[in-house]
Structure 1
Amino acid sequence: MGEIGTFIRGRRFTKADYADDGIPCIHYGEIYTRYGVSADAVVSYIDADISTKLRYAKTGDVVLTDVGETVEDVGKAVAWIGDEDVAIHDHCYAFRHSMNPKFVSYCMQTTSFVAEKAKYVARTKVNTLLIDGFSKIRIPIPPLDEQARIVAILDKFEALVNDISSGLPAEIQARRKQYEHYRDRLLSFKEAA
């Protein structure tokens, strides 16, 4: 990853810095609990008075955590696709690159990525993976149009699995077709000769 992009470490902010509005921000804990593969809006804001002390992810960056309770949690990522820069916590990195950000985020969920990053995670009280480790992890780099095609397919699966408004109706429709098929087979009889 170090050959295809750069890592920008966030800066610390605390609960005392949170505000009802102000600077949009992503705290590393929210990546585990509030965000999926990508985000175009934040759930938190911090006081604008500390804006010069912060570091920001830009549109297209992938924001990832450097700590976690398990090896799998370390490196959890969200592609930032919002319209404005977003402040990131010091347990986050913004990975700046020229690839499809959602493609990179999806790659970081794969079993091969988890296996590769496990080689570099420092297993202490809290599992940690620093820039040096992230830089060594390899990810595939297909052409941008192929990245977009893969993202489109994975987005459809993601919606079917996680979005109740599209996943549940699709499942209901599939079960109805299955029901109709078996109903028709069970209720069709050969004519008596």
Structure 2
Amino acid sequence: MKKFLIVGLGNIGSEYQNTRHNIGFRVLDRLAEEESVNFETVKLGDKCICSVKGRKLILLKPSTYMNLSGKSVKYWMDKEKIPLENVLIITDDINLPFGTIRLKTRGSDGGHNGLKDIQARLNTVQYNRVRLGIGSEFSRGKQIDYVLGEWDEEENKALPERLEKACELIRSFATAGVQHTMNAFNGK
């Protein structure tokens, strides 16, 4: 059975649960709920496994906090013997308007500390990542407050549909491949 490591980035702890920075965790929570699987605490994260059309998806929420996400990603890639092309990182992006979804196979960290650590630990910029736009509605010097802030009322209303779309993208990535998935989902 072909295996995939699907990593949602976020920070552990109830104070971060509903923040914009934790959208990666929210996506995986939604997918786990839809697939009727539960996370268990394991080394360097919370993990669960589900099967989608004969593909084994290992869902991982690192417990290393955002800035050290690469440690958990690298550990589970090695432990599960998952090739780089079968890894998908899900993260927030302030450079995209709220609700925008963009799958890329390579690129810079864009100033995102979680991606920066993953890039350093994997020693490459060529890894699959889904960037979920959270917007940039903050004033100069207030970026940290914004990403660690909770969703506003309008965002909360739109979030369920965006989480669902991200779950569909993950299933497509595992079953139809990255190129087809990019064509089908980018900008949608």
Q: TM-score normalised by the shorter chain: which range applies?
A: under 0.3
Q: Which has the larger radius of gyration?
A: 1
Structure 1 length normalisation: TM-score? 0.24
The structure, 1 or 2, with the larger RCO (C-alpha pairs under 8 Å, 6+ apart) is 2
